[in-house]
Amino acid sequence: MGVRVAEEWLHSCSGCEIAILNTGEALLDLLAQIDFVHIPVLIDHKYYGQLGDGKELEIPEAEVGIVSGGVANEEHMEVLLEMRKKCKILIALGTCATHGGLPSLMNSWGMEEGMKDYYSTPTTDPCEVPTQVVPKPLDRVYALDEKVEIDMILPGCPPNPTLIAEVLTALLEGRDPAIPTKAVCDTCPTRREGKGNVNNVRRFLQNAKYDPDQPIDEMRCLLEQGLMCMGPVTAAGCASGRGAPSCISARVPCRGCFGPVRREGNQMLDMMNALASNGIDFKSVVDRRSLLRFSGSHGLLRKLPPRKTTEE
Amino acid sequence: MEKVINIQPLTRIEGHAKIAIHLDDDGNVNDAFLHIMSLRGFEKFIEGRPAEEVPRIVNRICGICPWMHHLSSNKAVEGCFDVTPTPTGHKLREMCQIMAHINDKILHFFFLAAPDFVLGPDSDYSVRNVVGIVKEAPELANQVVKMRQLGQMMLENFAGKAIHPIAGVVGGFAKPMSEDERQGLLRDTRTLLDFALFSMDYAKTSVFPKYTDIIASLGTITTGFLGTVDELGSLRLYDGHLRLMKADGSMTDFPVSQYDQYLSEHVESWTYGKLPYAKCWNEGFSMDLDAPKGVYRANTLARINVCDQISTPHAQAELEEFREKFGRPAQGTLLYHWARLIELVYSCERTIELLEQDDITGTDIRAKAEPKAGRGIGHVEAPRGTLIHDYTTDDNGCIVKANMIVGTTHNIAPMNMSVKEAATSLIKDGIYDEGLLNKIEMAVRAYDP
C-alpha cells in the first residue's frame, strides 16, 4: 500500500490535472508509491456509491488531498468540505484554488449577473437561468482558504509539473518541499539596463524587440522596453526546471498567473507601485482591474457600481 | 415510487457532469439525463478587457484544449481590429493547433477511454483506469506516457507553454522558429506519426474486434453532423468553412461568419450546458429518440463524416477503410474512438507537412495591429467540436460583447440522447450492476466531453 491520495477539481478547467500528467516519467515513479483513491479525471470512484444509490456525498480517506479550482457553487462547497474532512494534508493546487484564478474576474459582477448574461446571448433561445438539479451558485468565486483550512499551496496557471513532482516527492520523503519564494523577475534572465526613458507602458500589439538568433539573456527586460510585464509582482515558479519564465521564453510579457509574491499580496496595487517607482505613469495601463485577473478572490475584485464601466 | 440512479461524478471526462437515470415501479427506465453541473461564464468577464489580452484569458476555458480557445480568440480579435496574420504567423499557429490535437487524442484514447476496452467495461473500478493499464500492459503504458509527454514538451519548448499558451498573438505569432527547432520538431513528429500508425493498427486488431457488438449499438442515435472542410471538401482543423450534414447525408456549407443564421442554442432548466441545434433546418428542437429535431453532432465522428476526403495519404487510406465498413454518415456512437484515431494520424501527417514548408522559419511573424471598434468571428475545430468565438469591440479595442459556442456544447443534446438510449436498452426490470452503469457512461465518454 502506498500513500493514499485524493484529488478533486472545482471551479476549474482541468489544466492542473493535465499539469499533473505532465510530470511525465516522474509520474510513473510516483504511481509506484502512491495510491489514488479518488480522482475523477482518471478513476471511476463515485460520490454516491458505485451503484448510485447512496444518500451522502462520500470521498475515501486519504493522507494527501489535492484540490484545484476555486469555490463558486454549492456542490463545490460540499466536495471541498468532504475533502477537508477526509484528507490529513490538504493542498490547494493552481491559482484558482489559491487565489480564485481567472474565473474570479466574475467577482466584478457576481455569479448571478454573469449567469444571466450567459443565458441571454444572441444565439440563445429566450429562457430562464437553469435551476433544477444543477448546483446553486454562490455570490462570487472564492479561493479555497476562504472556506476551509489549507495546509499547503502550489499556485500557477497551470502549476509547474516540476514543482508538483517536488511537492509529492517531499511529502513521501517527509520533508518540506523546496518551492521558490521570490518574484518572476528574480528568475528572469533578460538584460536589465536600469531606468530608461519609458514613461508609459504600451499594449502588447507588436512583438518585443529582440534578435531571434540570440538567447533570452540577450533580450532587454520587457518592462524596460515599455511593455506591461507583471514579473515584479508575481510569484516565481514557472521557470523551475526550464531556465526562464515560460512566457518570457516565448518572448511574451508575464501576466501574473502564479499570483502575488507574498501569499496575501495585491498584484494590482503592487504593480502600480512598481510602475511608479520606475517613473512610469500607471494611468497608461488600460484596464487596471485585470492586473487582478489571477487573484481576484479574497475580496480584491468587488462588484462594479451599477453603471457599466470598465475602469474604476 | 420512482427511483433515481445517480452516476456522479462522471469520470474520465474533462468537466463536471452527472447522469441521472429515473426508473419506474417495475425498474424500467422512465427517463435519463446528462446534467452539466458547472458554469464559469467567460462571455461576461472578458467584457471591458483589451481584446488583444483575451486570447490569453479564454485559453483557461479548457485545460485540455487551451490552444483551441487561444487561437479561435486570436482570429476573432483580428476580425475586430481588421488585421490579417502574416503567412508565417498563420502557419506557426496552425502547426501548434494541430500538434495540440495530437496530444489530446493520445490523452483521450489511452488515458481516458482505453481502460474500458483494455481492462473491460465490467472490470472493477479500482483497476479500470490508467494505473490499471500500467499494471496490465506496462510496455504499452510506458510508451503512451512517453509519447504524450513528447508531444507536450514539443509545444512547451517551442511555444513557451503547452497548457494555457501565450505565443499566438493578434497579427500572428510571438516568436519565429529556428532551423534547429524545425529539425527537432520534424524528428519528433515523425516519431509521433509512427506511434499514431501503431495506435490505429493496435486498435483495429486488438481493441475494436473484441467490442463489435457494443460499437454497433451502445448509445447509438441518428443525427446530423457539423464539421469544417476546405473548398475541395477536405478535412480541415485550423480553418475552412463549416459544413452541416443531415442524417440523410445532404449537406449545407456556410462561412463561420454566418453561424448565427444556421445555429441556435436551446436551454433546459436542468442543465447548465446549452443545447445547440440546426436552426436552418426549420424543424425546431427535440431530443425524441425516434424523431429528433435539429440535433446534430460535432467532434471526430462528425468531421470524418462531413469531409469528402483527407488530404494526407495515411489518414485518407484509413478514411476509405472506415467508410467501406460503416458508410457515410456513420452513426455508431463508439465510432467516435475510431474516427479519433484517424484524426490522430492526420494531425501527425499535417504537422510534418507544415514543418516541411520552408517559410515556416520566416521571421515576418506578426502583422501590426491597432485597437479599434469592430466585430470578429473566429473558429477552429477543437478536439471536441467546432469552436466559435464572436467578439465586438469599442473604439478603444476593448470587448463590449462576446458570444462563444464551444466544442463540447454541440454534443450536449446528442449525449443526452445516447445516455437515454443506452440506459433504456440496458436496464430491464430493475436489474443493473456497476459494469452496466459504466457502459452507460461509456456512451458519454465516446464524445470526450
Question: pLDDT tens, A241-265?
Answer: 998 999 999 999 999 999 999 999 9
Q: Is B13 inside a domain boundary?
A: yes
Q: Where do the H-state alpha helices sit in A139-281? A: 161-173, 246-249, 267-277
How far are the Cα atoms of A18, A91, A148 from residue A80, in angstroms, in the given order?
20, 11, 8
**Residue B1 reports pLDDT greater than 70:** no
Q: Is B444 inside a domain boundary?
A: yes
Residue in B61, B126, B160 nearest the CB of A246: B160
B371: nearest CA in chain A? A205
Give the pLDDT band of residue B268 (cuts 50, 70, 90).
very high
Q: How many domains does chain B have?
A: 1
Residues in A touching B63 (Cβ below 8 Å): 12-19, 158
Q: Give A8's contacts (C-beta < 8 A, 6+ positions apart).
A: A38, A39, A40, A59, A65, A66, A67, A68, A79, A80, A83
pLDDT recorded at residue A307: 56
pLDDT recorded at residue A311: 47
Residue in A106, A157, A309 nearest the CB of B44: A106
Contact A123 B271 (CB under 8 A): no
Determine the average pLDDT of the residues in A274-284. 91
**Residue A157 reports pLDDT greater than 80:** yes
pLDDT recorded at residue A306: 66
**Residue A41 reports pLDDT greater than 70:** yes
Query: B286 in helix, strand or coil?
Result: strand
pLDDT recorded at residue A308: 52
Angle at Cα A157 formed by Cα A141 and Cα A224, nearest 5°? 110
pLDDT recorded at residue A304: 79
Whether A118 and chain B come into contact, CB under 8 Å, resolves to yes
Determine the average pLDDT of the residues in B115-123. 93
In the chain, the amino acid numbered A306 is P
How far are the Cα atoms of B186, B198, B200, B314, B367 from residue B194, in angstroms, in the given order?
12, 6, 10, 11, 36
B437: nearest CA in chain A? A51
Confidence check on the interface: ipTM exceeds 0.95, yes or no: yes
Give the pLDDT band of residue A195 (cuts 50, 70, 90).
low
pLDDT recorded at residue A305: 75
**DSSP secondary structure code for residue B348 in this structure:** H
| CA–CA distance, B252 with A231 (Å, rounded to integer) | 49
Q: Where do the H-state alpha helices sit in B385-433? A: 407-410, 412-426
- The full set of domain ranges for chain A reads 3-173, 180-312
Report A:248-307 residues touching B (Cβ under 8 A). Answer: 248-252, 255, 257, 286-287, 289-290, 293
Contact call for residues B301 and B330 (beta carbons, < 8 A):
yes
Contact B41 A13 (CB under 8 A): no
Determine the average pLDDT of the residues in B311-327. 98
Residue in B11, B21, B149 nearest the CB of A40: B11
Question: pLDDT tens, A163-187?
Answer: 999 999 999 999 999 999 999 999 9
Given the C-alpha cell 462561412, which residue does it identify?
B255
| CA–CA distance, B404 with B409 (Å, rounded to integer) | 10
Strand ranges in B249-363 using DSSP code E only, listed in sequence order: 251-254, 263-266, 275-278, 296-297
Determine the average pLDDT of the residues in B159-182. 98
A27: nearest CA in chain B? B145
Give the pLDDT band of residue B230 (cuts 50, 70, 90).
very high
Cα-to-chain-centroid distance, residue A44: 26
B65: nearest CA in chain A? A15
Which among A188, A167, A183, A178 has a CA at the least distance from the CA of A94? A167
Q: Give A147's contacts (C-beta < 8 A, 6+ positions apart).
A: A71, A77, A80, A81
Phi, psi of B51 (to 5 degrees): -60, -35
Structural domain harbouring B447: 1-38+422-449
Q: Give B246's contacts (C-beta < 8 A, 6+ positions apart).
A: B224, B281
Smallest CA–CA distance, residue A151 to chain B, in Å, is: 25
Give the pLDDT band of residue A312 (cuts 50, 70, 90).
very low
Contact B403 A310 (CB under 8 A): no
Residue in B8, B35, B43 nearest the CB of A47: B8
Q: Is B226 inside a domain boundary?
A: no
| CA–CA distance, B62 with B385 (Å, rounded to integer) | 13
Question: pLDDT tens, B359-415?
Answer: 999 999 999 999 999 999 999 999 999 999 999 999 999 999 999 999 999 999 999
- Taking each helix axis from N to C end, the angle separating B335-355 and B313-326, rounded to the nearest 10 degrees, works out to 160
DSSP class per residue in A259-272:
-BSSTT--HHHHHH
Question: pLDDT tens, B194-222?
Answer: 999 999 999 999 999 999 999 989 999 99
Fold of A3-173: Rossmann fold (3.40.50)
Determine the average pLDDT of the residues in B111-135. 92
- The grid cell for A46 is 463515485
Smallest CA–CA distance, residue A158 to chain B, in Å, is: 7
- The grid cell for B26 is 417495475
Smallest CA–CA distance, residue B204 to chain A, in Å, is: 24
Contact A204 B53 (CB under 8 A): yes
Angle at Cα B153 formed by Cα B148 and Cα B157, nearest 5°? 165
